[in-house]
Structure 1
Amino acid sequence: MATAGGGPVADRGCRGLCLLSFCVLLAGLCWGNSVERKIYIPLNKTAPCVRLLNATHQIGCHSSISGDTGVIHVVEKEEDLQWVLTDGPNPPYVVLLEGTLFTREVMEKLKGSTSRIAGLAVSLAKPSPASGFSPSVQCPNDGFGVYSNSYGPEFAHCRKIQWNYLGNGLAYEDFSFPIFLLEDENETNVIKQCYRDHNLSQNGSAPAFPLCAMQLFSHMHAVISTVTCMRRSSIQSTFSINPEIVCDPLSDYNVWSMLKPINVSGTLEPDDRVVVAATQLDSRSFFWNVAPGAESAVASFVTQLAAAEALHKAPDVTTLPRNVMFVFFQGETFDYIGSSRMVYDMEKGKFPVQLENIDSFVELRQVALRNSLELWMHTDPMSQKNESVRNQVEHLLTTLEKSGAGVPTVILRRPNQSQPLPPSSLQRFLRARNISGVVLADHASVFHNRYYQSVYDTAENINVSFPEWQSPEEDLNFVTDTAKALADVATVLGRTLYQLAGGSNFSDSIQADPQTVTRLLYGFLVRANNSWFQSILRHDLRSYLGDGPLQHYIAVSSPTNTTYVVQYALANLTGQVINLTREQCQDPSKVPNENKDMYEYMWVQGPLNSNETERLPQCVRSTARLARALSPAFELGQWGSTEYSTWTESRWKDISARIFLIASKELEFITLTVGFGVLICSLVITYCINAKADVLFIAPREPGAVSF
Structure 2
Amino acid sequence: CLGNSVQRKIYIPLNRTAPCVRLLNATHQIGCQSSLSGDTGVIHVVEKEEDLEWALSTGPNPPYMILLDGNLFSRKILMQLRGNSRISGLAVAAASDPPPEGFSPGLQCPNDGFGVYSEDYGPQFAHCNGSVWNPGGSGISYEDFPFPIFLLEDANETQVIKECFRAHNLGAAPRFPLCAMQLQARMHAAASTVSCMRRSSLQSAFSINPEIVCDPLLDYNVWSSLHPINSSGKVEPGQRLVLAATRVDSHSFFWNVAPGAEGAVGSFVALLAAAAALQAAPGAQRLPRNVLFVFFQGETFDYIGSSRLVFDMEQEKFPLRLENVGAFLELGQVSLRNDSVLWMHTDPVSRQNASVDFQVKTLLAALHNSSSGSGVSLREPEFSQPLPPSSFQRFLRSRSIPGVVLSDHRAAFHNRYFQSIYDTAENIGMRYPEGLSPEQRLRFVTGTAQALAQVATLLARALFSLAGGGAGSESIRADPETVTQLLYGFLIDSNNSWFQSVIKPDQNGILGPFPQHYVAVSSPTNTTQLLQAVLGNLTGTRLNLSREECQNPGKTPGMQPELFEYWWVQGPRDGNSSARIPGCVRSGARLSPALSPAFELRRWDSREFSTWTESRWKEIRARIFLVASRDMELLTLFLGFLVLLLSLLLTFLINSKAALLFGPPPGPSGY
Q: Same fold (TM over 0.5)?
A: yes
The verdict on how the C-alpha distance between 1:79 and 1:611 changes in structure 2, with shifts beyond 3 A counting, is closer
In the aligned structure 1, how far is the partner of 2:651 from the partner of 2:424?
64
CA apart distance, 1:706: 5.4
Q: Paired residue for 1:574, among 539, 552, 573?
A: 539
In the aligned structure 2, how far is the partner of 1:224 from the partner of 1:412?
46
The verdict on how the C-alpha distance between 1:693 and 1:564 changes in structure 2, with shifts beyond 3 A counting, is farther
Amino acid at match of 1:190: V
Q: Aligned ranges for residues 174-213 of structure 1 at < 5 Å?
A: 174-201=144-171, 205-213=172-180
Find the counterpart in structure 1 of residue 625 from structure 2. 660
Find the counterpart in structure 1 of residue 462 from structure 2. 496
The verdict on how the C-alpha distance between 1:511 and 1:198 changes in structure 2, with shifts beyond 3 A counting, is same
Q: Paired residue for 2:257, among 264, 270, 290?
A: 290
Query: Which is worse superposed, 313-322 or 137-146?
Result: 313-322
Amino acid at match of 1:191: I
Find the counterpart in structure 2 of residue 466 from structure 1. 432
CA apart distance, 1:280: 0.3
Asked if 1:559 corresponds to 2:524, the answer is yes
Find the counterpart in structure 1 of residue 555 from structure 2. 590
Q: Paired residue for 1:92, among 63, 77, 84?
A: 63
In the aligned structure 2, how far is the partner of 1:320 from the partner of 1:706?
108
In the aligned structure 1, how far is the partner of 2:21 from the partner of 2:434?
36
Find the counterpart in structure 2 of residue 16 from structure 1. none
The DSSP-based 3-state class of the residue aligned with 1:432 is coil
In the aligned structure 2, how far is the partner of 1:194 from the partner of 1:121?
15
CA apart distance, 1:691: 6.6
In the aligned structure 1, how far is the partner of 2:670 from the partner of 2:317?
93
In the aligned structure 2, how far is the partner of 1:707 from the partner of 1:314?
104
Query: Which is worse superposed, 331-340 or 82-91?
Result: 82-91
In the aligned structure 1, how far is the partner of 2:581 from the partner of 2:658?
75
Find the counterpart in structure 2 of residue 327 from structure 1. 294
Any gaps of 5 or more consecutive residues in structure 2? none
Q: Aligned ranges for residues 528-677 of structure 1 at < 5 Å?
A: 528-546=494-512, 548-677=513-642
In the aligned structure 2, how far is the partner of 1:410 from the partner of 1:417?
21
CA apart distance, 1:692: 7.1
Amino acid at match of 1:136: G
The verdict on how the C-alpha distance between 1:248 and 1:707 changes in structure 2, with shifts beyond 3 A counting, is closer
The verdict on how the C-alpha distance between 1:216 and 1:707 changes in structure 2, with shifts beyond 3 A counting, is closer
CA apart distance, 1:695: 8.3
In the aligned structure 2, how far is the partner of 1:309 from the partner of 1:550?
22
In the aligned structure 2, how far is the partner of 1:534 from the partner of 1:520?
13
The verdict on how the C-alpha distance between 1:694 and 1:54 changes in structure 2, with shifts beyond 3 A counting, is farther
The DSSP-based 3-state class of the residue aligned with 1:498 is helix
The DSSP-based 3-state class of the residue aligned with 1:134 is coil
Amino acid at match of 1:215: Q
**What count of residue pairs does the alignment treat as equivalent?**
671
The verdict on how the C-alpha distance between 1:342 and 1:666 changes in structure 2, with shifts beyond 3 A counting, is same
Asked if 1:341 corresponds to 2:308, the answer is yes
Amino acid at match of 1:322: R
Q: Paired residue for 2:349, among 382, 396, 399?
A: 382
CA apart distance, 1:289: 0.2
Amino acid at match of 2:271: Q
Amino acid at match of 2:522: S
Any gaps of 5 or more consecutive residues in structure 1? 1-29
Q: Paired residue for 1:415, among 381, 388, 396?
A: 381
The verdict on how the C-alpha distance between 1:86 and 1:504 changes in structure 2, with shifts beyond 3 A counting, is same
Find the counterpart in structure 1 of residue 489 from structure 2. 523
Asked if 1:399 corresponds to 2:379, the answer is no
In the aligned structure 1, how far is the partner of 2:367 from the partner of 2:656?
96
The DSSP-based 3-state class of the residue aligned with 2:124 is coil
Find the counterpart in structure 1 of residue 283 from structure 2. 316
Asked if 1:124 corresponds to 2:91, the answer is no
Find the counterpart in structure 1 of residue 131 from structure 2. 161
Find the counterpart in structure 1 of residue 2 from structure 2. 31
Find the counterpart in structure 2 of residue 102 from structure 1. 73
CA apart distance, 1:613: 2.6
Per-residue CA deviation, residues 87-122 of structure 1 (Å, 9 max, x unaligned), is 111111010111111111111111141x11100000
Find the counterpart in structure 1 of residue 53 from structure 2. 82
Please report the TM-score for the alignment, with normalisation by the length of structure 2. Answer: 0.98
Asked if 1:135 corresponds to 2:105, the answer is yes
Q: Paired residue for 2:238, among 242, 247, 271?
A: 271
CA apart distance, 1:406: 2.3
Asked if 1:54 corresponds to 2:25, the answer is yes
Asked if 1:448 corresponds to 2:418, the answer is no
Instruction: Give the greater-gyration-radius structure (CA).
Output: 1
CA apart distance, 1:32: 2.4
The verdict on how the C-alpha distance between 1:707 and 1:123 changes in structure 2, with shifts beyond 3 A counting, is closer
Per-residue CA deviation, residues 433-483 of structure 1 (Å, 9 max, x unaligned), is 000000000000000000000000000000112122010000000000000
Amino acid at match of 1:660: F
In the aligned structure 2, how far is the partner of 1:530 from the partner of 1:698?
80
Query: Aligned-residue CA RMSD in angstroms?
Result: 1.7
Percent of matched pairs sharing the same residue? 65
CA apart distance, 1:674: 1.2
Per-residue CA deviation, residues 305-363 of structure 1 (Å, 9 max, x unaligned), is 00000000012222111100000000000000000000000000000011000010000
Find the counterpart in structure 2 of residue 18 from structure 1. none
Per-residue CA deviation, residues 649-700 of structure 1 (Å, 9 max, x unaligned), is 0000000100000100000001111112223333444556667778888999
Q: Paired residue for 2:183, among 201, 213, 216?
A: 216
Find the counterpart in structure 2 of residue 5 from structure 1. none
Please report the TM-score for the alignment, with normalisation by the length of structure 1. Answer: 0.93
The DSSP-based 3-state class of the residue aligned with 2:245 is strand
Query: Which is worse superposed, 521-530 or 426-435?
Result: 521-530
Q: Paired residue for 1:484, among 435, 441, 450?
A: 450
In the aligned structure 2, how far is the partner of 1:460 from the partner of 1:682?
66
The verdict on how the C-alpha distance between 1:701 and 1:206 changes in structure 2, with shifts beyond 3 A counting, is closer
In the aligned structure 2, how far is the partner of 1:681 from the partner of 1:138?
66
Amino acid at match of 1:237: S
Amino acid at match of 2:133: W
In the aligned structure 2, how far is the partner of 1:260 from the partner of 1:500?
14
Amino acid at match of 1:59: I
